[in-house]
Amino acid sequence: MITPIDQSFFNKPTLQLSKDLLGCRLVHLMDNIVISGRIVETEAYMGPVDRAAHSFQNRRTKRTEIMYHEAGLIYTYQMHTHTLINIVSGNIDCPEAVLIRAIEPIDGIDYMIQMRNNQPISNLTNGPGKLTKAMNITMSSYGQKSWEPPVFIAEGTKPHAISSGPRIGIENTGEARDYPWRFWITDNPFISRK
């Protein structure tokens, strides 16, 4: 049995949380199988002041609603045909979030390979859409607590070093394009891009 992290873990500035999540485990406890991986890449989305964030200028819709609630809740959304998973951050009414972009598989690797159509291990979870597919994380996680099963964060192993740089896939967002709000474990082979 893997113990979920304490809810108080999420109570910190979003950029700090983005870094602290590196090395933690993302776990999906299903009926007959445990799926888990080590978080190796994240991105911070800083809400009202961040052109690249869905909640830029406090945009509040059915989709972004959950970001206006307590830190540690799960924000899932559909990107084209894929589901992406974020952890809500910031105080109530401060709509920030951390996108989980890549994990290193730990438990349930055979299951992940199946879910990913027999892709090699190096290509199972090295991207935000890939890891949700591999771990069978869907929109049903929207608004759920990430400090309780079935989908939750658990303690992991501290990264030896952390790198940072511009975020991925937000070329048309003005100044926000260059903010170094992507974080990854230095030299980890499972990050989404080099």
Partner DNA sequence: AAGCTGATGGTCT
Partner DNA sequence: GACCATCAGCTTG
In the complex, which residues of this chain contact DNA (CB under 7 A)? 43, 45, 52-55, 59, 61-64, 75, 78-82, 84, 86, 97, 99, 116-117, 119, 123, 127-131, 133, 167-170, 172-173, 192
Nearer CB in complex with DNA: 91/123: 123
Distance in Å, CB of 13 to DNA, minimum: 17
Nearer CB in complex with DNA: 82/145: 82
DSSP string, 30-99: -SS-EEEEEEEEEEEE-GGG-TTSTTGGG---TTTGGGGS-TTBEEEEEETTEEEEEEEESSTT--EEEE
Nearer CB in complex with DNA: 19/54: 54
Distance in Å, CB of 137 to DNA, minimum: 12
Distance in Å, CB of 120 to DNA, minimum: 11
Distance in Å, CB of 121 to DNA, minimum: 13
Nearest to 17 by CA among 114, 108, 86, 64: 86
Nearer CB in complex with DNA: 161/174: 174
DSSP string, 164-189: EEPPSS-TTSGGGGG---EEEETT-T
Distance in Å, CB of 148 to DNA, minimum: 22
Nearer CB in complex with DNA: 59/145: 59
SS3 state at 11: coil
Nearer CB in complex with DNA: 65/155: 65
- CA–CA dist 122, 133 (Å, integer): 15
Phi, psi of 150 (to 5 degrees): -85, -30
- CA–CA dist 4, 27 (Å, integer): 9
Distance in Å, CB of 3 to DNA, minimum: 27
